[in-house]
Chain A
Amino acid sequence: MNQVSSSPSVLISIDGEMSVFTIRDIATRLLEPLSNGVGMEIDLTGVTEIDSAGLQLMIAVKKMASDHELPLRFVGHSSSVIRILDLCDLVGFFGDPVFIQRGAVS
């Protein structure tokens, strides 16, 4: 996970698995900027796999950011992220633009 600072929000990319096995670490890293009053742009390009723990984390991040009125955007949704948002019909909940990639839509 890399952090590139650009005020007032930071760019964070999540790479690899975003599942119950890795979720605690990811949650801790995402909590830090929000607790310090910094918004985030979260790049999901490198997410290879996501389960419901990952999905829930996205929701919890979104809720905390909006509670604190901090900017938050998910970008670069990988095909596994698109699939889970589609399965749960949550694209609209997040409201971020999502682009289909070849193979993402069956």
Chain B
Amino acid sequence: MSAGLSISGLTLEFARNGGWAAAVDHCDLTVRPKEIVGLVGESGSGKSLTALACLGLIPSACRASGSIRVSAEQIVGASEATLATLRGRKVAMIFQNPMTALNPYFTVGTQIVGVIRRHFVLTRSAAYREALAALQRAGLPDAALGRYPHQLSGGQLQRAMIAMAIACKPEILIADEPTTALDVTVQARILSLLRNLADQGMGILLITHDLGVVAQVSDRVAVMYSGSIVESGDPAGIFSSAAHPYTQGLLQSSPVIGLGSRRLHAIPGTVPDFRQRPSGCAFRDRCTQAGEICAQGSAPRMAISQEREVRCHFPIRPGASAELS
């Protein structure tokens, strides 16, 4: 597959006690054009690091191995020069906090034009026209071009960041928790915008911890826990019958409106620090299904159906729902 994002065997490690500890361990993920892939995980899962790796932005203390291809170009180990041509042009990123992602000293227009002229040889007026087009696609009025970041609201800032990211029409957009800091009504609109962008051809990797967001806008889902992707597949399948105990635990602990007062199902324990992971499956200390084999090496990837994969020795069979509903 030449277009889109293709992550294969990605491992991101930090030095520890003379050895290496993997914050992200052999991850495989693909994002095709026109599709939104939701990457679900909580803090400590390694999802943000994965996102940064796709743009070659991992910290210098981190060692990357494996392959990340963006429209057939290799990111892992690429030179700064190569990366600079790819960032913004082929792959772009938007972040959780738009206030800190935009330079407060420059107007939105200046920043977008800057990105455009970095990748294309255009006159200033032509570049401004492109910037305006980007703003329109992001749902902002033309007047936003001349505004400074502090003059915009949270939702507008996020749209400005999106406009900057899509200005050069990249193939892949990586969205790292783009709506977590936004009100729910504003979030709804941003999600709608992302859906539109995907329909127009962009492939989006949407990173979030919110299962509702994932269920509503993604075409495929990957669930990440402590550095590994534990389950992936189509949303309908996963949400109706999760195969991995962690996914099921997440679904059951997510509060849903209208279900009245009841005790939430809580996954006991906390996510282990990647430097102190238990041997074998990282989830086994918190897992209701864990067996002895779980302590020896991580589970192999198993295909449950054509679309779905799970990394577990004891995946939950569809129909066998857990005691709590």
- Indicate whether A and B interact: no
